Structure 1
Amino acid sequence: MSEQPVVVERRVTPLELFFDLVFVFSLTQVTALMAADPTWLGLLRGMAVLTVLWWAWVAYVWIGTTTDAEDGVARIVMLAAMGAMFLTALAAPGAFGQLGDVAGGSRDQALLFGVTYFAVRLAHVVLFRVIGRDKPDVGAAVARLAPGLLLGSALILVAAFLPPGWPRGLLWAVAIAVDVGAPLVAGTKGWELSPHHFAERHGLVIIIALGESLVALGVGVSDQLYDVRTMIAVLVGFASVACLWWLYFDVVAIAAERRLASVDVEQRNRLARDSFNYFHLPMVAGIVLLALGLKKSFVDIDSELKLVASFALFGGVALYLLGHLLFRKRNMGSWNLQRTVIMLLLLACVPLGVAVPAWVSLVTLMSVLLALVTYETLAFAPWRRHLRAAHEDHHAGEH
């Protein structure tokens, strides 16, 4: 017989929400990095920085879902890690150092990023070793994961001493491969997690990323005349962000949480790692790209977008939907046809962005997303109502 689900439910703590505020600032810094260098190389650098910041955040989600991170020594270590994470975020725009006239910061910033990122990852290992004293299985899991985790962050630190350009970029690529691949090599045996807590933390980070898009939208128009056309364009951009919220939280988040709680321990650990740790990254990356696209769109809403900005606007949302498709495939074993069609349609709209005024691109994006939300809401209304009602009844029973 298969092992029965063991569910230890935890609540998201104020300390974890405090940590998430630091991650908000990190996302803002990634957008700033790409906005200062709106080239394909700039986008690649931004996505690289986002990836390592994401894996640092993910590590602390596992801590919060395994133990009470506000208890005793764990709280002090968490606060120290948050301070290091804040410094890492401050240095993020200069993580790759200076290359010619490209805005990328100095070697000092790259070194600060490397040192503080290593400190964040080291604190993660220390915290889990402390937890492992009372939970031998967790301690064994950390022992398997720690070498890859520390090696990846150490390589980013070493990269700061290399010349800016391809030598540093190559070592970053190796570091990311090690960092991202370590959980696959180490496996998930021995870990413990609370399904509701784990799903809620990832849902909160989606909201955080969407909030960054709204910040970029607001900043983009802060120095413009607040006329009727501008305000309408702002509402169009807001509607697009709201559609992304709807596409995740209306049913996807609910179904994923229920699935996570329904399987046995080993399956739950693998499912959490794959569908939440790995497949939420393209969602967050897509939202950050959208933030860049919105910011560039409001530089002049009557002018065409540059190709990179158009890709960020349309391609960012397409990447967000790709994350949804992979998320559903891993959780439910099925593929979402309508979201696949919309993803491809958005990619096809990238050339449109360089041929029409930015406001037309914004209206196009909003129209496509509204059509998707409307179709899914109407076509799957009975199933949607049943799922949401069952979810509400379950949580009502818990209280």
Structure 2
Amino acid sequence: MLFFDLVFVFALTQITALMAHDLSWHNVVRGALLLGLLWWSWAAYSWVSNIAKADEGAVRTVVLCAMAAMFVIALAIPEAFHDLPGGLPGPVVIAVAYFVLRAMHLVLLWLIAAGDQMLRRTIALFAIGKIAATVLLLIASQYHGTTQTLLWAGALAADYLVTYFVDARGWRFNSPSHWAERHGLIIIIALGESIVAIGVGVTNLPISWPILVASLLGLAVCAALWWVYFDATVYYGEKALADEPPETRPWLARDAYTFLHLPMVAGIVFLALGLKKVLEYVGDTGHHHLDDPLHGIGLIALYGGVVVYLLGHVGFKRRTVHHWSASRLLTAAVLIIAVPLVHDVPALGQIAVLAAALSCLVAFEAVRFARERDELKHHEHPA
């Protein structure tokens, strides 16, 4: 499944590039819709890998075919909403590839559920959302502008809401440790995409002290987000899954991971967009001065991406261990308040403030929760 993850992160890179190419609110919304589409596809196959071995027999073949379909979607992302002259119609290509991706998923689940009528009933109900989403995407491919965007939103709503409200009795969930590991891997791969965005932001620009400082500050921000997840979150999430009764464990996995990891990944993608813009500002002296501030969507993506990421963690902790994370809520609130305060600060100063705020969060939690963290890391979880 790691191979599948690499295709997913390529798609994230394409989304960041799409939003950066046309930095408008409408295009950012479209980028978010594309992310929602790809996340739902990735999450679907994560469930498959938890109930069947993905590297054996027919499952491996289907996963490889699904990976090809996701790769096609990723390749077509630049034409997801605006078809370029010549070639195949990009919006239709994405709709068809998405249908293939989800259809193979349902077929695979149907085969895995052989002899289990309750599970097959659940899978059949899930198919309603998949079919509705595909139909709406195909209809959207024939429109432009706001209508097209709204149809995309409707397609995602159909898929997400059907999944959330369908009675999933009989659903299988085999391994809490594997489930937690899969989602941890996708977080670190997404963070890797943010680091790539730093490099892409200064491609073909001569190296300079401002570029070095901004790059290291961006790396510090990514490292802090890594710490926030992997220092404790990954452990209490896995422990909560292991402790949850088997009959309700699928619901916890769905809420805490399938739904609440989406804002974490989305936050990282928006952060990558902000980092890319910061590096352009400090490095491209032909179009910007070193004292130019990052403003508008670029600034909101930089700070807002981290806020969304932290709020995803707050929701995750509340759902898994039934506690609110006051430190992360407070940091998110401080960053929201900071946006208008740093509006006129040079881009280099803006990213320095962000790095400083996250460093304070990391330092506080490292001291405040040292004993709890140590207990979590040395607690043996059942597979």
TM-score of the superposed pair, with normalisation by structure 2: 0.93
In structure 1, the partner of 2:237 is 256
> Paired residue for 1:169, among 149, 155, 180?
149
In structure 2, the partner of 1:183 is 163
* CA positional deviation for 1:137: 4.1
Pair 1:149–1:243, CA change in 2 (3 A): same
* CA positional deviation for 1:141: 2.3
Pair 1:105–1:166, CA change in 2 (3 A): farther
Matches within 5 A, 1:349-368: 349-368=338-357
* CA positional deviation for 1:49: 0.5
* Paired residue secondary structure (1:70): coil
* Paired residue secondary structure (2:280): coil
Deviations 1:179-205 (A, max 9, x none): 111111213211112111111111111
> Paired residue for 2:73, among 58, 63, 88?
88
* CA positional deviation for 1:370: 0.3
* Paired residue secondary structure (1:188): coil
In structure 2, the partner of 1:153 is 134
Pair 1:97–1:222, CA change in 2 (3 A): closer
On the 8 A contact 1:107/1:160 being kept in 2, the answer is no
Deviations 1:228-248 (A, max 9, x none): 332122111101000000000
* Paired residue secondary structure (1:296): helix
* Paired residue secondary structure (1:390): coil
Question: Aligned residues: percent identity?
Answer: 43
In structure 2, the partner of 1:343 is 332
Matches within 5 A, 1:224-235: 224-235=205-216
On the 8 A contact 2:50/2:179 being kept in 1, the answer is yes
In structure 2, the partner of 1:63 is 48
Pair 1:249–1:284, CA change in 2 (3 A): same
Work out the CA distance in 1 between the residues paired with 2:85 and 2:201: 21
On the 8 A contact 2:218/2:351 being kept in 1, the answer is yes
On the 8 A contact 2:241/2:249 being kept in 1, the answer is yes
- Does residue 31 of structure 2 align to residue 46 of structure 1? yes
- Does residue 278 of structure 2 align to residue 278 of structure 1? no
Work out the CA distance in 2 between the residues paired with 1:364 and 1:184: 38
In structure 1, the partner of 2:287 is none
Work out the CA distance in 2 between the residues paired with 1:271 and 1:151: 26
On the 8 A contact 2:210/2:348 being kept in 1, the answer is no
Work out the CA distance in 2 between the residues paired with 1:107 and 1:360: 45
Work out the CA distance in 1 between the residues paired with 2:117 and 2:6: 32
* CA positional deviation for 1:265: 1.7
In structure 1, the partner of 2:101 is 120
* CA positional deviation for 1:221: 2.1
In structure 2, the partner of 1:7 is none
* CA positional deviation for 1:107: 8.0
Work out the CA distance in 2 between the residues paired with 1:135 and 1:371: 51
Work out the CA distance in 1 between the residues paired with 2:254 and 2:78: 28
* CA positional deviation for 1:348: 1.7
* CA positional deviation for 1:74: 1.9
Work out the CA distance in 2 between the residues paired with 1:70 and 1:379: 42
Work out the CA distance in 2 between the residues paired with 1:31 and 1:324: 22
> Paired residue for 2:294, among 305, 308, 326?
305
In structure 2, the partner of 1:207 is 188
Instruction: Name segments (4+ residues, structure 1) moved above 3 Å.
Output: 103-107, 134-138
On the 8 A contact 1:93/1:104 being kept in 2, the answer is no
Work out the CA distance in 2 between the residues paired with 1:219 and 1:68: 36
* CA positional deviation for 1:154: 2.6
* CA positional deviation for 1:112: 1.0
Deviates more, 1:207-216 or 1:340-349: 340-349
In structure 2, the partner of 1:380 is 369
Work out the CA distance in 2 between the residues paired with 1:106 and 1:374: 53
TM-score of the superposed pair, with normalisation by structure 1: 0.90
Deviates more, 1:204-213 or 1:341-350: 341-350
In structure 1, the partner of 2:314 is 325
* CA positional deviation for 1:342: 0.6
* Paired residue secondary structure (2:281): coil
Which residue identity lines up with residue 329 of structure 1 in the other structure?
A: R
On the 8 A contact 2:265/2:309 being kept in 1, the answer is yes
On the 8 A contact 1:140/1:190 being kept in 2, the answer is no
On the 8 A contact 1:290/1:313 being kept in 2, the answer is yes
> Paired residue for 1:222, among 203, 211, 220?
203
* CA positional deviation for 1:227: 2.5
Work out the CA distance in 2 between the residues paired with 1:251 and 1:357: 34
Which residue identity lines up with residue 249 of structure 1 in the other structure?
A: F
Unaligned runs of 5+ in 1: 1-15
* Paired residue secondary structure (2:379): helix
On the 8 A contact 1:280/1:323 being kept in 2, the answer is yes
Work out the CA distance in 1 between the residues paired with 2:247 and 2:138: 34
Work out the CA distance in 2 between the residues paired with 1:230 and 1:171: 41
On the 8 A contact 1:307/1:351 being kept in 2, the answer is no
Work out the CA distance in 1 between the residues paired with 2:305 and 2:27: 15
* CA positional deviation for 1:278: 0.5
In structure 1, the partner of 2:124 is 143
On the 8 A contact 2:14/2:78 being kept in 1, the answer is yes
Work out the CA distance in 1 between the residues paired with 2:90 and 2:341: 37
On the 8 A contact 1:131/1:138 being kept in 2, the answer is no
